[in-house]
Chains A and B, each alone.
Chain A
Amino acid sequence: MLKHFKHRFALLILLLTLGMILAACNKDGDKELSDPNGSKTPDVSETDDGEEDATDDGGPKDGGTIVGAMYSAPAGMFNPIFYEEAYEANILDFTHEGLVTQNDKLEFISNLAEKWEVNDDQTEITFFLKEGVKWHDGEEFTADDVVYTYQAMSDPEYENAGGVRVNYVAPLLGYEAYQSGETDVFEGVVADGDYKVTFKFAEPNVSPLYYASFPIIPEHIFSSISVKDIPEAAESKDPGKVIGTGPFKFADMIEREQYILERNEDYWQGAPHLDSIVWKVVAQSVMIGLLEKGEIDFVASPGGIAPADYDIVADFGNIEIIEQADFGYQLMGFKMNHRTTADVESGALNPDNWVPNKKLSNPKVRQAIAHAVNRQGLVGTGHGEGLLHGRGQPINSPIAQQMWAYDESAVTAYEYDPEKAGEILDDLGYVDVTGDGFREDPDGKEWILNFDYPTGNELRERSAPILQSDLENVGIKVNLRQPAEMSVYVPGLTDDNTDWDLYLIGWSLSSTDPDPAGLWATKAGYNFSRWNSPTSEELMQKAVKAPDAFDQDYRSEVYAEWQKHFSEELPALLLYAQNSLWAYNDRIQGIKILPHSMYQDAHEWWVEDAE
């Protein structure tokens, strides 16, 4: 008896000990914070030392290494014309450069090109290149490199080899003839001497600088390799062989673990202060701990800090957090039309054949749904609230809010008002006739909205059941289906000869041009709502039509009109734009924060503890 008791006792102690260990590990997560916005600035006393050092020595020091974190390893394609992932961009942003880049107001500014001239009808833009710019291998950067880059992207083999950036070359003069192999004379980009290069467009172009902003690759390296073989070439993949003009060279890697960038001594804007920047791949669950410990110095897009972790990181004291709105948003779309089976099979996007989805074809119904959704509730107003802990905002326009074309005043802000939603539906005849608590359609028939959503973005996934309950609150019956992984979900979304009604998707938008046609033009593949509006079509075309559209104010006006039209028609309810949360250790100095990036002018970064 006593023996048994002893054993039980020992067991109990063991369990208690384990329990305590686990509880101790969880401590940080439970920490209560007094400041609801969590916008704590680091304590002055903690940052004092460093700043004094800086003033003592009066300026940047050379040397030192900093470590950045990314949550997933790059696939390994370090060639700008073939890469596809943001993780690869993390490296290419430091190694490669374009003719122009963007400033904090998102205007294009000079980079490898000193200046440029546009002809009167905007069919040609001529760049005068910086002289004395050297590739990482010491060769001179010239106009031939620019021509080569665009020529490679226009190559007949480019797409078959896996290239996807045809967007940048499609408007060039003679693109189709060259791409289809009809001619081997490439007339889209023409060099005149070593430092002058002209882009020629087939039609007047409203944003020629955007098309010329693509990172340039070295002609002297790739011209001997056929475009078809570029993805396999060591020059596209291996450290030491990847050559750009940027401030850092891709010097070494431990594949899928570390990517090491080293200072480019001959950088044309002056040698960088830092010796090296090391990218480490770390699990998201471990990153915060490493950031606190100082093993990681910075983390940015994609991913950054999770909204729920904001307060924890802010509390570390030595970490600066940069919070700004992301270029993009999440939306709940309405399938306004479905395609026919024949069209889905042939892949045709022919609006004439589309079948209206009666359940959602009335814009008033969509507006009622917009009023029924508590979008601020999804975002929350502070830590512990909503899905985003307040790190984002509900939006009403599908144009990125940082853009000059964004116009808050043009759009209807559908405030959360379930009563109003109910009234609109009542007026339209959507009332509950069977007494089951859910509305029937005006004919008294069952009215159930099918709701599909993808996995992959945890916050979006968690928003689906919340949206369902918001809609059911106003008596709309929602059939929330099982979430599907993206590679299954997107075909379902595309091949829409089915019964889909509501869907969730997120878009990340370009920081360069606000033209929404890629997502919302009637025949755009990504117009998953199958929104067919002649007005919208007309406005989008008007906004890019020469010569009126050469004037940015004119475009702004047209886009304002379009945004108004969008928010009335409501092909999708925009849910929220999340804030990106980037963070860096305050030992790094000279970081320049732009709305779209923090990697610009990395040659000016320096650390105070450099030896």
Chain B
Amino acid sequence: MRSNSSSLTPKAPLALTIAAYAGLLFLHVPILIIFLYTLTPDETTYTFPLPGITFKWFGIALQRADLWRSVTLSLQVAAIATFAALILGSLAAAAVYRSNFFGRESISFLLVLPIALPGIVTGIALRTAIGGFDIPFSFWTIVIGHATFCVVVVYNNVLARFRRMQGSQIEASMDLGANSFQTFWYVVFPNIATALLAGGMLAFALSFDEVIVTTFTAGQQTTLPIWIFSQLSRPRDRPVTNVAAMIVMLITFLPIFLSQRLTASSSDTEGNSK
């Protein structure tokens, strides 16, 4: 079979190349603009070109306890939601991969719903249910909300890895004398480890900057995105918001980038072994 990725890559028409890179610029330039605006001395407007350059907002941001409380809260929520998603997502992936049961196709559908349906649906549904049962809105209601849409990320990653893994490996391991637990530990886990890591990091990033569902499931708690959102309508020290936005970008950028590299590179090596 001839693969598309052969060295015989055809040359693109110039107009297509320009359109493609214009699209890429459109995707990325706005984010850089935020970074630029962290340096503006202008407190009340978004004047461009910047009237000057200052680094004082980083210092002021450091002093803002409310900002750091929400960063901490977001980190905690993301960590716990990710942990739950890792367990639930990989269990579901294992079940779907290992057995053939009635309604297997619907599992993916059920898991993908929370991200396929508009976030506001998930948000208001959860809020109504939580409120209806008189459960107080808290840290844990935020986590519960986040877990619903994080599960599918882990599930997709792990299931894709399972499907690329030679199924006979599990049989081979048992055949050689390893029981189910040993087989999991020595064979299955090493095979899916990077997929777990990649899925987990994506789930973390997704949770860390989620705002729509969170506005519905949070009580008095202010996660970092909610903090930023409130700054959008009632700005106080606008440039501090720029710094906060930059923090979100940086904290989410690394795990997303790494997880992309992980899934890309592991598919390379698996391609070789075939």
Do A and B form a real pair? no
A interface residues, Cβ below 8 angstroms from B: none
